[in-house]
Structure 1
Amino acid sequence: MNLRFSPVTFFTCCIMGIMITGCRPAVTPSGEETPVRLRVTILSEQPVHEPVRASGTLVSRHEVKLSFKTGGIISSISVEEGDQVRKGEQLASLDLSEIEAEVRKARAALDKAWRDYTRAGNLYRDTVATLEQFQNARTALDVARSNHDIAEFNLEHSVIRAPADGKVLKKLTEPGEIVAPGMPVFVFASTESEWVVRAAVADRDIVRLEAGDSARLHFDAFPGEGFAGWVVEKGTAADPYTGTYEVEIGMQRPPQNLVSGLVARAEIYPGEPENRIIIPESALTEGDGMEGMVAVIRNGRPVKCRIVLESITDQGLVVKEGLQPGDTLVSEGAGFLLPGSRFEMEFDRE
């Protein structure tokens, strides 16, 4: 019987033969296995400037809610959201009919109290009125003067004026609405103060940060650009809902067209570096997320060791668990080891 092989069958057999040959340990011309060359290093801790990464929003450092001191009906609103305003410019006013009436009543009461005090003083000097009557008239005058001051103060704060040069971020009411005392009418941001990014960081990170630490800011609105900054202030109490701490990051050279509410990504660099074990990526033989396997030399033989990573930096892989200073790490070649393989070690410095 004649056996015939198709070209596809012949090609498949050739490939399988090459693969089987490639899986065999390399041998020297004398028939001995070629030892696997391992590059090893003695581990030691290194200073790491690991940044704290957080996200936040851009705001004016002095962002306030403006409201009326007294309640009433809003008579007029003279600005819209996004308007730039100057310090002292009128933004809104209440209907002053009731408030001006209170001022007139307080002024009339003050005039009467002044007349009563003058009359009581004259009678006291003529020994017609008693000292008690004169003192009561003076007390009534003081009370009337205070009531007049309160009425004038309420009248003055029945108009909202811009506290500084800035921008109206939000308009929360409309003319004709009735507002209670202190109810916000505008959200206002001063452009006289610097822009800051308010970011939230975890408790393990807030203890690493101090005012003045450098930072780098990135905005989706400005792709490919980074802005230098620094920590202006850090929170001392956790948010009761999220458990995070707020950090304010200032900008050194902000662009001219910034607007409040831009989302920012921040990298904050603590002033004091931390000592960590750093290994090269080539040392990993297996990896799953932030866990992996490496080989270390124990009793003269390479053995597998499970590690947990803390972060990945430009310097290498920062180890959180699994390795100690003084361990001998196989930095290259561990992936070529098979059970029983011969090996040669070449020491390198970290």
Structure 2
Amino acid sequence: EVMSKGTGQCKAVHVEEGNRVNAGDVLAELDQTELEAQARQARVTVRQQKTAFEIAERSLAEGIGAPVERDNTQFAYEQAQAMLEMHEAQLRHQVIRAPISGIVTNRILQAGMLVSPGMPAFTVVDPESYVLPISVPEKELSRLSEGQEARVRVDSIEGRELTARVRRINPSMDPLSGTVKVILDFDPADRAQLREAAFARVRLVMQTNSNTLVVPKDALIEENARTYLMVVERDEPKGEEAAEGGENAGEVFVARRIEVQKGLEDSNFIEILSGVDDNSKVVVMGQHTLKANALVTITTAAREIESRAGMSPDEALEAARRKSEEDRKRQEAAQSPS
């Protein structure tokens, strides 16, 4: 926050909110008329006292002056210099300058306002200084370290996740909330897109595994504290068995319900530690209504769209999504206790 050090009427404001400024740029000017007159008078006094001091020094050197007279004129000269410096400092305070380079986020001053020392005039924020304070539960403290990665979503930046890192972990804990304050720092390339006091959602990356098997979280089937995936495996149809999936069935598969062990997860995907491998074909839509050992065929989006006469590709896909969601809700309702 930029405070005024001067006093008087605001004569001009040179910036608006949103303007980018450099350190030292003039933001506003206060009336300087009276102070300029005082400064001019002080300069005259300095010249007069300097002349008197020089005369006293020459007189003392020639033996016709007294030391006390030289000392008095020297004191008067130095006092006049101090007064001039004070008036010049007051004049400088009549010009409000940006203390740092950044963006003007708040302009309080208006032309014609009466200003006094200490009055807030502007707010200038340096985007390079943007940090994000968060509160982390005490139980997670042992898993935190400086430099740890975090993923941040900001409402003002749609469709993109920013990368941040833990800059500082407060050594003290809030006794009321049982949390620890943690400061996150953003990558330089992302800071220019941020806004002061923006609302953010944070996911701290507590652990990472490479070369691991992951599936969409929506593909999971949770029952009785156990986790399953529905996969399809090759199967040879017998006789005239019809395969679930339509008349244009191609290669026939059989649905299998496999119990799996979960690992790490994020907002969209979850690690699978055992139960399936990277060659497994996992059902990610409609798995809640698909029965184990049912015969199925694997089709393509294009074939499904063609089978839905009169529908555009987007309409066909949306219809499939709606049906899958309805099936899932019916399955959950059937499993819930009455």
Shift of 1:181: 1.1
Question: Secondary structure of 2:76's partner?
Answer: helix
Alignment of 1:310-329 (within 5 A): 315=264
One-letter amino acid of the structure 2 residue matched with residue 101 of structure 1: A
Which residues in structure 2 correspond to 1:54-69 (within 5 Å)? 65-69=1-5
Cα displacement (A) at 1:68: 2.6
- Taking the TM superposition and a 5 Å limit, the aligned residue runs for 1:204-223 are 211-223=146-158
Letter in 2 for 1:111: R
Alpha-carbon displacement from aligned partner over 1:301-331 (angstroms, at most 9, x marks no partner): xxxxxxxxxxxx9659xxxxxxxxxxxxxxx
Aligned mates of 2:174, 2:121 — CA distance in 1:
26
Contact 2:24 2:98 in 1 (8 A): yes
How many residue pairs get aligned? The number is 215
Paired residue secondary structure (1:105): helix
Residue 234 of structure 1 and its aligned partner are, at CA, apart by 4.6
2:7 aligned with 1:71, yes or no?
Answer: yes
After superposition, residues 1-350 of structure 1 pair within 5 angstroms as 65-191=1-127, 193-200=128-135, 211-235=146-170, 247-252=182-187, 253-254=189-190, 256-268=192-204, 315=264
**Pairwise CA distance, 1:267:** 3.6
The equivalent of 2:330 in structure 1 is none
C-alpha distance 150-267 of structure 1, shift in aligned 2 (>3 A): farther
Aligned-pair CA distance for 1:203: 7.0
Deviations 1:243-272 (A, max 9, x none): 97654321113065432221122344579x
Q: 1:245 to 1:256 in 2, by over 3 A?
A: same
Q: Any conservation in 2 of the 1:210–1:270 contact (CA below 8 Å)? A: no
- Compared CA separation, residues 173 and 243, structure 1 to 2 (3 A): farther
2:152 corresponds to which letter in structure 1?
A: L
Alpha-carbon distance change, 221 to 270 in structure 1, aligned in 2, over 3 angstroms: same
Cα distance, 1:196–1:112 mapped onto 2, change above 3 Å: same
Give 3-state SS (helix, strand or coil) of 1:100's partner.
helix
* TM-score, normalised via structure 1 length: 0.51
Q: By how many angstroms is 1:95 displaced?
A: 0.7
1:144 is displaced (CA, Å) by: 1.9
Contact 1:231-1:249 at 8 Å conserved across structures: yes
Residue equivalent to 2:238: none
Q: Give the SS at the match of 1:111.
A: helix
Which residue does the alignment assign to 1:304?
none
CA contact (8 A) 2:2 2:99 kept: no
Specify the alignment match of 1:306 in structure 2.
Answer: none
Backbone CA RMSD of aligned residues: 3.6
Which whole-Å CA distance do the structure 2 matches of 1:147 and 1:244 have between them? 55
Which residue identity lines up with residue 169 of structure 1 in the other structure?
T
Q: CA deviation at 1:75?
A: 0.9
Q: Which amino acid aligns with 1:173?
A: L
- Is 1:195–1:250's contact at 8 Å kept on the other side of the alignment? yes
| Cα contact 2:3–2:118 (8 A) shared by 1 | yes
Match of 2:84, SS state, is helix
Q: State the AA in 1 paired with 2:163.
A: A
SS of equivalent residue, structure 2 residue 190:
coil
Cα separation, 1, equivalents of 2:174 and 2:7: 32
State the match for 1:37 in structure 2.
none
Counterpart amino acid of 1:189? Answer: V
Q: Distance in 1 between matches of 2:137 and 2:70?
A: 67
Q: Deviations over 1:146-180 (max 9, x none)?
A: 22122222212311233444211001121111122
Alignment TM-score, normalising by the size of structure 2: 0.53
Q: Counterpart in 2 of 1:59?
A: none
- Does the Cα contact within 8 Å between 1:72 and 1:178 map onto a contact in 2? yes
Asked if the contact 1:72/1:94 (under 8 Å) is kept, the reply is yes
| Cα displacement (A) at 1:284 | 6.0
Residue in structure 2 matched with residue 346 of structure 1 by the alignment: none
For residues 136 and 235 of structure 1, what CA distance do their matches in structure 2 show? 59
Separation in structure 1 between the aligned mates of residue 67 and residue 2 of structure 2, nearest angstrom: 48
